[in-house]
Copies of this chain bind each other. A is one copy, B any other.
Amino acid sequence: MRPQIVLFGDSITEQSFRYGGWGASLTDTYSRKADIVVRGYGGYTTRWALFLLHHIFPLGSTTPPVATTVFFGANDAALLGRTSERQHVPLEEYKENLRKIVRHLKECSPTMLIVLITPPPIDEEGRQIFATSQYGEKAMKLPERTNEVSGIYAKECVEVAKELGVSSVNLWSKMQETEGWQKKFLSDGLHLTPDGNKVVYEEVVKVFNGAWLSAPDMPSDFPHHSEIDPQNPAKVFQERCL
């Protein structure tokens, strides 16, 4: 009945319904207008996301999502030879995987609004503190992700979006415009604080509003309660819901 907006991504998408989460805020904004469907998979890279594509976005669906956010790269950008190397996806493959995802979504629905979101910046000190809190002496000595490398993945993510004519949010750049972004937006050097979630929410809404998916312009699914005549409630439902 209602259009669907799918949030496809890694842990930053999976956790987007926690306190102040960007997925929850989107759900509230599109209340009675669109359903926000979360398809976030912690730890996943674009390489592994490809295995989910046909399950989550089956071709031939009569009701494909009207919009999808694609938010991978934070794990792809993990460094070789460090503690998260199993997640590493080489830059060229990351780009090609993003292209495959976008092409598949376009095949699902040529009118789907597709928004690529880049990985966030990395607070290397925050990652180190987090690792020590988790593993003590056994914690990594060298960062498993660097801000510089994440920035390269972010840049290429934006390039792929341009190349394929879809929208993008450069979260890596946007967050670093704010002083103190390291602790203000990131809780463990990588995942988002409520303030960090707010940045994602605002940037995604900006893209949706700039396209044809502005919540205030969309119809509500049933009459507002003030439109209901208490003496004849059936009337407005007959007019609006048939």
Q: How far is the CA of A51 from the CA of B232 in the complex (A)?
A: 12
Query: CB distance B234 to A55 under 8 Å?
Result: no
Cβ of A14 < 8 Å from any Cβ of B?
yes
Query: CB distance B24 to A228 under 8 Å?
Result: no
- CB A168 to nearest CB in B, in angstroms, measures 25
Query: CB distance A225 to B20 under 8 Å?
Result: no
Number of contacting residues on A, CB 8 A? 41
- CB A41 to nearest CB in B, in angstroms, measures 6
Query: CB distance B20 to A31 under 8 Å?
Result: no
Query: CB distance A234 to B27 under 8 Å?
Result: no
Q: Which residues of B contact A27 (CB under 8 A)?
A: 17, 23-24, 27, 38
Question: Which residue in B31, B47, B52, B233 is a CB contact (below 8 Å) of A40?
Answer: B31
Query: CB distance B21 to A225 under 8 Å?
Result: no
Query: CB distance B20 to A19 under 8 Å?
Result: yes
* Interface set, chain A 13-41, CB cutoff 8 A to B: 14-15, 17-21, 23-25, 27-28, 31-32, 35, 37-38, 40-41
Cβ of A44 < 8 Å from any Cβ of B?
yes
Query: CB distance B230 to A41 under 8 Å?
Result: no
- CB A193 to nearest CB in B, in angstroms, measures 13
Cβ of A86 < 8 Å from any Cβ of B?
yes
* Interface set, chain A 196-225, CB cutoff 8 A to B: 222, 224-225
Query: CB distance A52 to B222 under 8 Å?
Result: yes
Query: CB distance A42 to B225 under 8 Å?
Result: yes
Using an 8 Å CB-CB cutoff, how does the interface string of A107-123 with B read, 1 for contact, 0 for none?
Answer: 00000000000000000
Q: Which residues of B contact A37 (CB under 8 A)?
A: 35
Question: Which residue in B24, B42, B43, B241 is a CB contact (below 8 Å) of A21?
Answer: B24
Nearest neighbor of A230 in chain B, beta-carbon distance: B86
Q: How far is the CA of A25 from the CA of B37 in the complex (A)?
A: 14
**Knowing A1-B55, A15-B28 touch, does A43 contact B226 (C-beta < 8 A)?**
yes
Beyond contacts A1-B55, A23-B24, A43-B226: 12 other A-B pairs, Cβ-Cβ < 8 A, are A17-B25, A17-B31, A23-B27, A32-B40, A43-B225, A44-B225, A51-B222, A51-B233, A51-B237, A51-B241, A55-B241, A86-B230
13 A-B residue pairs with Cβ-Cβ distance under 8 Å, sorted by A, are: A17-B25, A17-B27, A17-B28, A23-B24, A24-B27, A27-B27, A32-B40, A35-B37, A35-B38, A41-B222, A48-B228, A51-B241, A52-B241
